[in-house]
Amino acid sequence: MKTENNGDAILIKISDLSIRAYLRRYPFVSGPDMDMNNKSLDVIRKSIRIRRNISPAEIISDDIVSTEIEPEENKRAISLFKNLGVDEVQYKNLLNDYGWRVNKISRHATKVLSIGCGNGHELIFIKAVLPDADITAIDDRNKIDCRLYSILNFKFIEGDFNIVSEKLESRYDLIFSNHFLEHTCDPESLIKNIFRLLRPGGVLIAGLPLDSSVDNVFSEEILKLSNNPDRLHPIDLNYFDPGHPWKTNAADLTATLRDNEFHAVTIYQRAQHPSRYIAGSEKTYNDKLKRSRCLNKIFFSPLHSLIKLIFPRSPPYLVRKILFAVESRCWFGSNWLKANFSPDVVVVAERE
């Protein structure tokens, strides 16, 4: 168990629904509509909020054994994924990502709500550990393979969670999400809605990155820009990442859940897998981070500085597009670096 990540958290609190929708499509504000790009950047600058937390928060380090699903559950998951043509290598990667998250699920859960289910892979793992559960899934876009409807027998609702949840009843004993919470511009409203939908004794299980943890790769740069939002340049968005408006940390996450009536909050991190995509010991992780950060500074930092010098306010669309395309394909590009090394956790929060 460790106590850390108690620095300031960041929230981009955008109320304009059209800007939110635009950022979901173009999270780095690099779309072809330059007027909308400039408007979005202006809104982002005005919407940055610093969330200060001084109370320490604990993170429990999970060993490998405690992250593994049961053999029978693993067999069910393999069988379900075979229906989608997923091979052994692909399955191992999916199991590595989802297995330890669903292993936090109580096997007594019968009514499940999945928020931000994406392509539906998490639904397969939920069904593998809860074969008899009644599952409802919500996402703002339907990206689910149509074959899953008959295989899993679940209900899907398309739309914004905060809107469609108003029509749902408080009946769920488990609400599950994987890398969804960080996309909210209003965590208090989101957590209140989640709390309302849980039965007494119900549990929220959510996987998410701690983008504002003090040991995150760009934490210092992000905090400096948050304190001086007028200096936020379009090129900075590649690591500032407006696509993750809630840049939380352990202290902020714990406080937000407790302030919204969750009475028991526990945060877990894999001992041998500190981020979502980087496995290995802490030394291995730090060595990879140091090497990647060094290459980023050598190749991309001078390029960023040059673009800012030539275009101090807004570089042309083609310049943005080329830069972001190059960085997105490079393993030490700014956004890859930020995404790969953000601490990855699962939070378990209970309603009394």
323-346: pLDDT as tens digits? 999 998 999 999 999 989 999 999
Q: What's the confidence (pLDDT) of residue 53? A: 77
Q: What's the confidence (pLDDT) of residue 178? A: 97
Kindly report the three-state secondary structure assignment for every residue of 31-84: CCCHHHHHHHHHHHHHHEEEECCCCCCEEEEECCHHHCCCHHHHHHHHHHHHCC
The sign of the torsion formed by the CA atoms of 151, 94, 186, 200 equals positive
Q: What's the confidence (pLDDT) of residue 4? A: 55
Exposed e or buried b for every residue in 26-44, given b needs 16+ CB within 10 A?
bbbbbbeeeeebebbbebb
What is the separation of C-alpha 18 from the centre of its chain, rounded to a whole number of angstroms?
21
Q: What's the confidence (pLDDT) of residue 6? A: 65
Mean pLDDT of 3-11: 75
Mean pLDDT of 262-289: 91
Residue 315 · residue 235 · CB < 8 Å = yes
Instruction: Give the position of tokens 């897998």.
Output: 273
Three-class secondary structure of residue 254 per DSSP:
helix
Residue 275 reports pLDDT greater than 50: yes
12-68: pLDDT as tens digits? 999 999 999 999 899 999 999 999 999 999 999 999 999 987 788 999 998 877 778
Q: What's the confidence (pLDDT) of residue 1? A: 47
Instruction: Give the position of tokens 């877990």.
Output: 268
The pLDDT-based confidence of 170 (bands split at 50, 70, 90) is confident
Q: How far apart are CA 59 and CA 100, in angstroms?
A: 15
Tokens of 296: 């980023």
291-319: pLDDT as tens digits? 999 999 999 999 999 999 999 988 999 99
**DSSP characters over 209-243:** E-TT-TTSTTHHHHHHHHHSGGG--GGGHHHH-TT
Three-class secondary structure of residue 105 per DSSP:
coil
Any residues with CB less than 8 A from the CB of 35 and at least 6 apart, and which? none
Amino acid letter, residue 16: D
241-259: pLDDT as tens digits? 999 999 999 999 999 999 9
Write the burial class of residue 106 (CB in 10 Å: 0-12 exposed, 13-18 middle, 19+ buried).
middle
Mean pLDDT of 224-233: 96
* Residue whose C-alpha is closest to residue 109's, from 169, 155, 176: 176
Q: What's the confidence (pLDDT) of residue 215? A: 77
Q: Percentage of the chain with pLDDT > 70?
A: 98
